[in-house]
Amino acid sequence: MSREKIKVPGKVYEELVALQREIHFTSDVTDTIKKAEDRGYMNAATWIRQNESAYKIGFSWGFEPDGSEPRGTLQDIPARSEPVQRRTIRRDSTLQPKSSKKSSGGVFAGIRNWFGKYF
């Protein structure tokens, strides 16, 4: 038996790759099926259930999509929609300039004033 990757349908392959990224694959088939179903990968869960021995081999040697199904085309990508207009509130009239209150000269001037007041 040669070490070739197991060929799976395209949709199953995409879900197996996504499942592999999300969980650590285990050789426990029932656990993997449960995790696939919990994450919504029904095609992968069904394929694993029907092809348990092929899954175990593919678990070790890897999977690849078979060439019978067409890959995604540009028609599968939705058309770009217009950006959503954001509502903004202009607050030009509420902005008031800061008062130009002059400071008394800093820390040293404050100390000098304190000394002058009490001594």
> What pLDDT, in 10s, does the model give residues 17-69?
888 888 876 778 888 889 989 989 999 999 999 998 888 888 788 888 887 65
Cβ atoms of 19 and 41 within 8 Å: the answer is yes
Domains: count for the chain: 1
62 within a domain of the structure (yes/no): yes
pLDDT reported for residue 92: 62
Query: Is the pTM above the cut of 0.95?
Result: no
Phi, psi of 64 (to 5 degrees): -150, 150
pLDDT reported for residue 85: 76
10 within a domain of the structure (yes/no): yes
pLDDT reported for residue 49: 92
Burial grade of 90 (CB within 10 A; 0-12, 13-18, 19 or more): exposed
pLDDT reported for residue 94: 59
How confident is residue 1, by pLDDT bands cut at 50, 70 and 90? Answer: low
111 within a domain of the structure (yes/no): no
91 within a domain of the structure (yes/no): no
110 within a domain of the structure (yes/no): no
How confident is residue 110, by pLDDT bands cut at 50, 70 and 90? Answer: confident
Range of the domain at 27: 6-70
Tens of pLDDT, residue by residue over 62-109, are 888 887 655 555 556 667 777 777 777 666 665 566 665 555 578 888
47 within a domain of the structure (yes/no): yes
97 within a domain of the structure (yes/no): no
90 within a domain of the structure (yes/no): no
